Each structure stands twice: as structure tokens, then as C-alpha cells.
Structure 1
């Protein structure tokens, strides 16, 4: 029997380097979606939407409600253009991930209503998201795209018909758990990033006293995730408890947590991420916790392996003042963030 890690290693080599039919089809589908979107734009819109692949703007990203962003704004697009923009977004995400993305965008309605009496509150708009095409979408050469706005940022890089980068990948939710319905927003009780948070609590709860002592690296959570908006991910040594010190059941919970994030991406991209983790040694993945060990109180976690860094922080209140009901989470590659090989 071929060792599981060896099988996964073969998968990641195929997905990232050999460009099999599935990966090629995904990249081809992205190029077709990008070109269809571009063809539907006016010359003025196209000037805003297209940026050179080697421009520093490609690595200029952030999850905050910025006043100025690269790309063409979703709000100015016609209904047909919007459908084509969303088709491009969907080409990089799974069906579940696409549904979450739309929920994140719709939560801007909740924020606008919740902050309507707050002087100087940021602009909240479910249509204030921006689409950028980098380079020329084709089967040869380098190109990419991004879809970004408040609490959401997806960045794709393609080289010679192969997807070589799908990070930074930022997912946020405010409110994390929806308590009050607002027209245009999700239903009451919606937890947009439910598994991404709950499985980490499940893992923490399963740890024995000695494991917790190693996993919990701080009694207080950080103010936010690290390197927000930076072109390079943090590269400090991993902290917390390594997977090799977990039981088999705890390892499965950790795997499920990682899969919850990866499975937001298109299936081929999710498989490549998970395969890369196993090829580099799953036992070398570290889980670190900061802050409270229960919901509703500020908490955060980091998961880091040789190839990736995942951080989730939930410390801020929602607009109604409910504490720790505002999630920031980001997945970054330590080998090919923005498709740049290290």
C-alpha cells in the first residue's frame, strides 16, 4: 500500500506542476470567465479593471473598508456585467464558498443598519466590491485576478495555464452570528463561518491539561491577525502544539478545521492545498490558541505548517454591542502567496 503522505505528495505535484485535465480545465474556465467579463465592459470600465500583472497593485490588498481600491467597482456594473463578475468569482470557489462570499457581501446591509446613527462610520455597501484582472487571461504567460472589498479578498495567479496561487484568501463576518434580521441580509441565526470557528473550539476542548498548556500561547487575544494588508505573510516560527502530539481523533478534528477553509476554494485548489500540507508533513502543523476558551469572549487561533499560515481572530463586538461577534480570518501560503515562489 502506498503511504498516504506519498499519495498526497503525488497529488500536489500533479496539481501544481503537471497541470492535469482538471486543473487545466479550472484555469481555462477562469480565463474564459475573465475574458467574458472584460468583453462586456465599456472602454472606461476596462481601463479601471485591467492592471499589469507585474504592477505592485497586484499585491496591494486589505480587508478593511478602504476608500480607494484597485479595479472596477461592482456597483457601477450593469446586471449582465455583474453576472459575469460573479461567474469569475465562482470559478475560484466551491459552491459553498461562493455562497459564503455572497453572505459576507450581504452582511454590509446589517452593518449599514446597525451603524446608521454612528457618526463617521465607514461606508457600508454590499456592492462596494472590486474586480481586477492582471495581465491578459490566456493559456500562455502569467495573469491573475482579484475580487475584494470589506471582509473579503480572493487573489488568483495563473502561469501557463496552471493556477499557481490562490492566496491571500480572507474571509470575515460581522456579525459572526446574526441576531437581528435586516432587509437584504442573511437570516437570523446565520453563522457564515461556523465550521471555521466551531471546529477550533472543539479541538481546544478535546485537549488534556498538558496539551492545553502547550497549545494556549496567550491569555489575551491579539488586536487582529498579523501582516494585515501586507504583501508578505508573517514568517515567524510556528507556536503551539504540533500535530504529532495530538491523538488520532484530535488530528482528525484539526484536519476537518483545515478542510473547512480549503473547501471554500474550488475543489482542485482545495485538494492542492491539503495535499501540499500532507506532503510537507502533517505532524509538523502547529495549533496555537489565544484568549478565552468559550464563545462570546475575545479569542483567536493560529495554525501553521511548513507551507501555510491560517489565522482567525474574533474579539470585536458587532454593531449591536454583542462581544466577540466579528470574525477576521486569513489563509496565506508561505511558498507561493500571490503565486510568487519563495
Structure 2
């Protein structure tokens, strides 16, 4: 059954146009395919506190409906919805990350009936009523995958917090040996780091010890008060382009509409206000912990590879103005529902 779900992922993301108005249509198609009991499990008000829950570790108490509980047609509809928000490459990464749960299950010698590691334990939750004239949102979340989307009528407001992780970062044995799901996020960062001049490198590396986890964690409000590292204007023109290329990897996890909005916001906030920060080892080798961050007035991107002998990656994108749709969107929703 799960193999069929993977085929849906690879097939249908190639067919889905990245249009904002598609999102509500695809969400409603998914809802119509659910039974009444499944709808009750999946649908929540937009102003519920549940919408702000954000977790990227294995959990048994997630709200919503899991992939395991869906039939093939429902799974197809779920992936069609996901394809309205994420790029084809990002959906493939989600698929690959889900499959890594099978690798972990084998590595941890878990019995067949143990579902702590389970590629079907990923949940969809819908908040509000999807339509072209409503405020609503949805979340797709499980181990090492967490995306939160918000829409205000026909406008896509936010797709964050957005988390992707990989454990193992590099599969060392078994049928998936050498698979490296987050290879691009790792390689481009090290390419930039190793290209820096001695003066640039001295500013960029703030400590030789990497933090044990992404600093923003799973908090509702992402905040790192004091930026560190090297500022965009302090980089050479070539290294500025490399930094922008690294940002693009994260931004283009989303479909073009989302990505264009995020890039416009970054530019409006001023490229000169971007910081690039490195902590931990500067050697690109297994077993050497490292961390980097890109921070601006409206965005924080984090990458951490420290756990499991530095073979376990966490990455996150936080929109400091619009995470979970932003407070302003919630105010608009409440105002519309008190008239």
C-alpha cells in the first residue's frame, strides 16, 4: 500500500499547476473524499490554538488524519494538495524523508508491528473553510517534515514554519546506501564557506562548537535577537551570489508563487541586512558537527547537523512576519466572524 502512495507522489506532482486558486479547490476535493468521521478528524476552526502546534519529531498525539488512514484516492488527493504549495523537488524530498523512517526502523532493530518509525505517520490538518473568499490554512506534518500554509482569499500568505530533516543524513548501509536527501543544502553551504577569503571566514565562523539543535526550535515565535557572522555587504560579489544561491535552495522548496513572494520580501527588507553565520566544524566530513544560519529582518533559515555522530540534519525556514499566517491574518479572520 505504501509503495502505491510513493507512485502517487512521483506521478501527480508533475501534473499540478502552481496556481494559488488551485489550493482551495484541491483541499475541498480532498475533504469530499473523506467520510464524516474522517472529516471530523481532519477539520478544525482557523482560530484554534492547534494551528500553532509545530513539531518535527515522532509523536503519537498529532491531530489530523494520517497517510495510513487514507485509501488510494484520498492519498492521491492529498498529494495533489501538497503539489499546489511545494515544488516537485520538495515533494520528492518529503517522499525520501518519509522513506528514511524505514531505514531507521531497520537500524534500530524495531519489530514489524512497532510503529514509532512509520512512513505513513504523516498527518494532514485543515483549518477553516477552504474557499476563494475565506481565510483558511492547512498543515502537513510528521517526523522531519512540517509545513504550515495560510491563505487569505486568493492570496497565499505564508508557507512557514517549514521544516525538513534527514536521519540518517547519509545512509551508510542497506538498500538505500549513499542516499543523501539534504545534499544540496549541505554542499552549497560548504562550497560557500570554503570559497571565503580568510578575512570573510574569520567573520563568518562565530564558534567552533555547533549548537545541539536549530536555535528557533519548535516555538511559535522564532526569534534570534542578535545576528552574528558576516553581513551581505562584507562578502565579495561572487560570494554574495553564492549566498543567494543557497537561499534559493530553501525558498524554492515552494511553488513559484510562494517562492516569488518570499524573494520579494527578502529584497524589500534589503539584501544588505542579511547575515550568514557558521558554527562548528568547517570540514565537510561525516562525524564533524556543524551549523549555519541565514538571517534577515523577515527570515531565518537554519541548518544543523550535530546529532547521531553528525549524520542527522535539521533545517527550517521561518518567516518572521508571516509564520502561521501572522497575527494580522488571525485578526482579520476574527473580525470577519464577529460581524
Sort the TM-score into its range (normalised by shorter chain). Answer: 0.7 to 0.9
Q: Give 2:300's aligned residue.
A: 309
Distance 1:104 1:87 in 2: 18
* 1:74 to partner: Cα distance: 1.1
Q: Give 1:328's aligned residue.
A: 314
Alignment counterpart, residue 73 of structure 1, candidates 49, 66, 71: 66
Native 8 Å contact 1:49 1:72 kept in 2: yes
Distance 2:21 2:110 in 1: 47
Aligned residue runs from structure 1 range 1-342, under 5 A: 26-116=19-109, 123-182=116-175, 187-295=176-284, 296=286, 297-317=288-308, 323-341=309-327
- Cα deviation per residue 1:97-135 (whole Å; 9 max; x = unaligned)? 1111111111111011111169xx981000000000100
Native 8 Å contact 2:136 2:152 kept in 1: yes
Distance 1:44 1:195 in 2: 41
Native 8 Å contact 2:54 2:146 kept in 1: yes
Q: How many correspondences in the alignment? A: 308
Distance 1:25 1:229 in 2: 28
* 1:180 to partner: Cα distance: 1.9
* 1:70 to partner: Cα distance: 1.4
Distance 1:78 1:117, change over 3 A: closer
Distance 2:115 2:253 in 1: 28
Distance 2:71 2:254 in 1: 26
- Could you say what secondary structure the match of 1:34 adopts? helix
Question: Mind listing any 5+ residue stretches in structure 1 that lack a counterpart?
Answer: 1-23, 318-322
Distance 1:208 1:46 in 2: 56
Native 8 Å contact 1:65 1:122 kept in 2: no
* 1:341 to partner: Cα distance: 4.7
Native 8 Å contact 2:18 2:83 kept in 1: no
Q: TM-score, normalised by structure 2?
A: 0.87
- Could you say what secondary structure the match of 1:340 adopts? helix
* 1:179 to partner: Cα distance: 2.3
* 1:25 to partner: Cα distance: 6.9
Distance 2:72 2:118 in 1: 17
- Could you say what secondary structure the match of 2:19 adopts? helix
Q: TM-score, normalised by structure 1?
A: 0.87
Distance 2:173 2:44 in 1: 40
Distance 1:284 1:29 in 2: 34
Distance 2:164 2:312 in 1: 11
Distance 1:102 1:25 in 2: 19
